[in-house]
Chain A
């Protein structure tokens, strides 16, 4: 497709399970971002990739969160030993260049994670 694709759209996990969320950015986009959006809140930055390099992971809330983009295209956000506070919508966004310059991020529809 032409846009950013995320899967799964919905994920229910039992507390303590590991989950993996996938993001397919727009082809050729250099920058890729992960955000976490709690109910009724704005997106909160998690991590940023420029091609395959993870340049900023300052927003990852704990060492249970891990992201990778090994070939500079598809990215995976992994959450280990999920907790209830991890319940949120996880948004992926990509941009052609450095989004800090233009701000034009293209967002996927998100993966809604519910931890029971």
Chain B
């Protein structure tokens, strides 16, 4: 079945540091890949997505590239801010299986210190 593996947190960085959160997946067919973010006290919201191999999703300074050869979708940001402190979830959608639902990783908590 489909699965997503994320690096464990928490990840603690100083403001303006470079961020990488690793995500790898297992899926049949050609899934779409997503990063969702959950800020404190709020619901999950879509951060970025990529729907085919070599696509790069980007939003709010965050980027992730769909790497089919390594089955990865690592999240990166060049310079984090305190306001980026949140929990980040990698997810996939197995369209080829007909399954409409997203499969999520366990989440990675990011703490950015001033």
Most chain B CB neighbours (cut-off 10 Å) among A40, A43, A56, A98: A43
How many interface residues does B have (CB within 8 Å)? Answer: 25
B108 to chain A, nearest CB (A): 10
User: In the bound complex, what is the Cα–Cα distance between A73 and B32 (angstroms)?
Assistant: 27
Which residues of A have CB within 8 Å of B103? 45
Are A48 and B49 closer than 8 Å at their CB atoms? Answer: no
Q: Name A100's contact: one of B4, B43, B100, B105 (CB within 8 Å).
A: B100
Are B100 and A103 closer than 8 Å at their CB atoms? Answer: no
Which residues of A have CB within 8 Å of B49? 102-104
A-B contact pairs, 28 of them (CB 8 A): A33-B101, A40-B107, A42-B105, A42-B107, A43-B104, A45-B103, A48-B101, A50-B100, A55-B100, A56-B99, A91-B43, A99-B93, A99-B102, A100-B32, A100-B94, A100-B95, A100-B100, A101-B93, A101-B95, A103-B34, A103-B46, A105-B46, A106-B43, A107-B43, A107-B44, A108-B43, A109-B42, A109-B43
Q: What residues make up the interface of A, taking CB atoms closer than 8 Å to B? A: 3-4, 31, 33, 35, 40-45, 48, 50, 55-56, 59, 91, 93, 98-110
Q: What residues make up the interface of B, taking CB atoms closer than 8 Å to A? A: 4, 32, 34, 41-46, 49, 89, 91, 93-95, 98-107
